Structure 1
Amino acid sequence: MRRGNSKVKLLIGVGIVLFTLFKYYSNSEVNEFTGKKQHISMTTDEEVAIGLQSAPQMAQQHGGLYPDQNYQKMVDRVGQKLVDNSVARQTNYRYDFHLLRDPNTINAFALPGGQIFITYALFSKLKNEDQLAGVLGHEIGHVVGRHSAERMAKQGLTQGILSGVAVGFDPSTAQGAAAIANVINMSYGRDDELESDELGVKFMIDAGYNPAELIGVMQILKAAAGPNRTPERMSTHPDPENRIEKIKEAIKKYGK
């Protein structure tokens, strides 16, 4: 009887995995702005809605918005200049730039659909407007590259496969699959960062900024991480030194 139950469980597990794979791979399109083939299950309007809905909560997690309107106006001006002079202007996204109060967390990030954030901790370490353009250009790259939407679809794929493995196989197999999935998802994250660096370089050049200043941003991030930073293979971000090499290649590729 047990063997019969095991067979049924195995068939159900395999069915879940196959359905998950079909669902993921049937949603395929080429990003018209990057030329990259992607598996995404949401529309650009849905991305915008998710970003707008999540923005207040993200700001709250970092102590709210920075009170100095002059700094905020500078962030808005630089961000808008990058959008107006690049392919970002041709997308259906609504770009908003937010300077967060957080004085400790050196970070910048983008939500789906165009909501872009930079913490005061990072803003205060930037040496010039070009470096600010580098940070914001990189984050605009995440939006244009639809990385959040792509990540959500990949997480759905991972969760579906793990659910199938958990139903159809023994627990140790499921744990091993989860560990492998985690490593794969991290590598996806690193690829997104490198693509956003390249797009950021292009957007900087298009808007008249010096793309070499993005290298200075990487040095700031490297210094902030300190000597005990997480090894690249265990991180969602590439090592800053590797990013610098790729940025130099992008400058050669797009430089006029």
Structure 2
Amino acid sequence: MAQQYGGIHPDRQAGARVEEIGQQLVRSTKASQTPYKFQFHLLADENTINAFALPGGQIFITAGLLKNLKSEGQVAGVLAHEIGHVVGRHSAEQVAKSQLTQGLTGAAAIGLYDPDRPSTAVSAAAAAIVGKLVTMRFGRQDELESDELAVDFTAQAGYDPRAMIQVMQILEQAGGGKNPPEFMSTHPNPGNRIAELEKDIAAQFPGGVPATLKP
């Protein structure tokens, strides 16, 4: 997966901070009660604006997206959204629907893959699976559910959930009316996303978002 985006970012400190924010989200929420082993990776690609999750808890964010984010809360919002996809089993459902796990190009390839002793055939099959997973489009209901979970997760971890709205605004601006960021292609906008986020936040905090939450 990392190879598809230029490898893991060489700034280990930045990568460790992404991992730290992600693990704080997991520890503070029901994600910690799932069987998934969550790990968070900063990818070296400075040009692609994207984040994605694989079934089982492997979560990736590109340097291209990270450098557009202005606060720790916004980073937490992106990671929380991806955790939501894992907890909601959206990626797993996508894999099942696409029949990626049939034959050598599926479960067999994943099961046989050994990074220390890779075979050409198995590596190529695994790479094909990775490529398809990255480009899968989530449905409207999956996106709304992950947004709602992100509001819950960020607040429970001590972050202001309104940072999610800022992320959506940043992604819209990054498109500049031309080609949308890759994130918006694989995570299509389910209607008025900002309005839905505002509704979720108002439902959770009818008296207003506490000032103690970190932006």
Fold shared by both chains (TM-score > 0.5):
yes
Residue 236 of structure 1: how far off its partner (Å): 5.3
Asked if the contact 1:88–1:140 (Cα under 8 Å) also holds between the matched residues in 2, the reply is yes
RMSD: 2.2
Equivalent residue runs for 1:158-173 within 5 Å: none
SS of residue matched to 2:192: helix
SS of residue matched to 1:125: coil
The whole-number CA distance in structure 2 between the counterparts of 1:211 and 1:118 is 19
Match of 1:142 in 2: 85
Bigger mean CA deviation after superposition, 71-80 or 86-95: 71-80
1:130 maps to 2:80: no
Asked if the contact 1:189–1:236 (Cα under 8 Å) also holds between the matched residues in 2, the reply is no
Equivalent residue runs for 1:7-18 within 5 Å: none
The whole-number CA distance in structure 2 between the counterparts of 1:119 and 1:243 is 22
The whole-number CA distance in structure 2 between the counterparts of 1:236 and 1:192 is 12
SS of residue matched to 1:118: strand
Asked if the contact 1:190–1:236 (Cα under 8 Å) also holds between the matched residues in 2, the reply is no
Residue 207 of structure 1: how far off its partner (Å): 0.6
**2:26 maps to which of 60, 77, 83:** 83
1:63 maps to 2:6: yes
From the two aligned structures, give the one with the greater helix fraction.
Answer: 1
Q: Deviation string for 1:145-175 (max 9, x for gaps)? A: 000111122234xxxxxxxxxxxxxxxxxxx
The structure number with the bigger radius of gyration is: 1
Asked if the contact 1:221–1:240 (Cα under 8 Å) also holds between the matched residues in 2, the reply is no
The whole-number CA distance in structure 1 between the counterparts of 2:42 and 2:2 is 9
Q: Call closer, same or farther: CA 1:207–1:236 in 2, change over 3 Å.
A: same
**1:207 maps to which of 142, 157, 164:** 157
Match of 1:119 in 2: 62
What TM-score, normalized by structure 1, do the two folds share?
0.61
Q: Deviation string for 1:68-105 (max 9, x for gaps)? A: 11111110111010000000000000000000000000
Match of 1:109 in 2: 52
Asked if the contact 1:198–1:247 (Cα under 8 Å) also holds between the matched residues in 2, the reply is yes
The whole-number CA distance in structure 2 between the counterparts of 1:216 and 1:112 is 27
